[in-house]
Each structure stands twice: as C-alpha cells, then as structure tokens.
C-alpha cells in the first residue's frame, strides 16, 4: 500500500475500546469488515439493500428502512464535491489534538453524502462545490494489524 498516505497515532495514548474502533476491522470483530477490506484495496464502498434498494452510509448489517439483512456491498465514487466544510481548532478527538487546525467537511458523492477529514487543504482555500478525491490513509498505532480509513483531499 505504498501509494497511500500514512498517519501515526501516538503510542502513549491508551484508547478505550469504544474510541478505538479501528481494532474492529477484522471479520472476527465486525459484520462490516468487508468495508475495511475494500478500503485496504483502495475502494470506498457501502451497503445497499437487495430487498428495497436503500443505499446506506455508513455500511450496515440490517437495512434501516425495511429491516432486511439481505445487503450487498456496492462501490462508491472516488471523486465528489465539497458540500460543506469547517475547521477544527479545538476539541479534536484523542490522538489528533496536535494536528489542529484541520479541515472537516461533508462530501457529496451523488447517491450519498458523508463526513470526512479534508487533507492537504486550508479553510481559506476551499469553496462549496470544490472537487475532492478519495485519500485512503493507513493508521499506525497501538494494535499490530494493518488499519485504514478514508479521507478526501482537493482534486489535483
């Protein structure tokens, strides 16, 4: 995965299990492990209900519309538009306090909108409607297995 950016979480912070959900990226720990497997391969995905067609993000194991568990993974676009954004200047999550300020935003991918960190951008350089693209990021930290998460950045 050398074509992805890497961030590192400090080893000195002990995160409670509820806060360190990255540990739950394996089939042994979660029903949405396929989302993380797809992300490791550079593909952003989510679930769609085969019964009613409802598309959900984040991925689910049961459809919130019809309660069916007949869900399939579908690929999401790697490019979208910035729908809204702001800067985090204080109150960052554990392990990210030293990274403030940073930009967060709502990315419109057409069928879904999702919240994401917007990397390699300053607030004053962004506008609503700016094109952004997927940035899969490796997470280093207190567990031994490979972990990933998604972010977006201005389209180059």
Where along the chain do its domains lie? Answer: 5-154
Q: How far is CA 50 from CA 19, 112, 147, in A?
A: 32, 17, 29
Residue 15 scores a pLDDT above 70: no
Dihedral of CA atoms 89, 143, 115, 48 in degrees, nearest 10, equals -170
Give dist(CA 58, CA 60) in Å, integer.
6
Give dist(CA 22, CA 149) in Å, integer.
8
Would you place residue 99 in the very low, low, confident or very high pLDDT band (cuts 50, 70, 90)? Answer: confident
Q: Which tokens is 133 given?
A: 């693209």
Q: Say whether pTM exceeds 0.85.
A: no
Residue in the block written with tokens 């979208």 = 80
pLDDT at 23: 60
């Amino acid at each position: 995965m050398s074509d992805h950016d890497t961030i590192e979480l400090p080893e000195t912070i002990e995160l409670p299990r509820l806060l360190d959900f990255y540990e739950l990226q394996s089939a042994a720990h979660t029903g949405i492990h396929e989302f993380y497997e797809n992300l490791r391969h550079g593909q952003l995905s989510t679930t769609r209900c085969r019964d009613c067609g409802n598309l959900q993000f984040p991925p689910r194991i049961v459809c919130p519309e019809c309660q069916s568990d007949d869900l399939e993974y579908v690929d999401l676009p790697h490019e979208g538009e910035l729908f809204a954004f702001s800067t985090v200047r204080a109150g960052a999550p554990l392990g990210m306090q030293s990274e403030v300020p940073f930009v967060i935003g709502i990315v419109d991918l057409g069928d879904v909108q999702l919240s994401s960190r917007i990397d390699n951008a300053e607030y004053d350089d962004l506008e609503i409607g700016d094109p952004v693209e997927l940035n899969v990021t490796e997470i280093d930290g207190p567990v031994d297995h490979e972990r990933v998460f998604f972010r977006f950045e201005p389209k180059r």
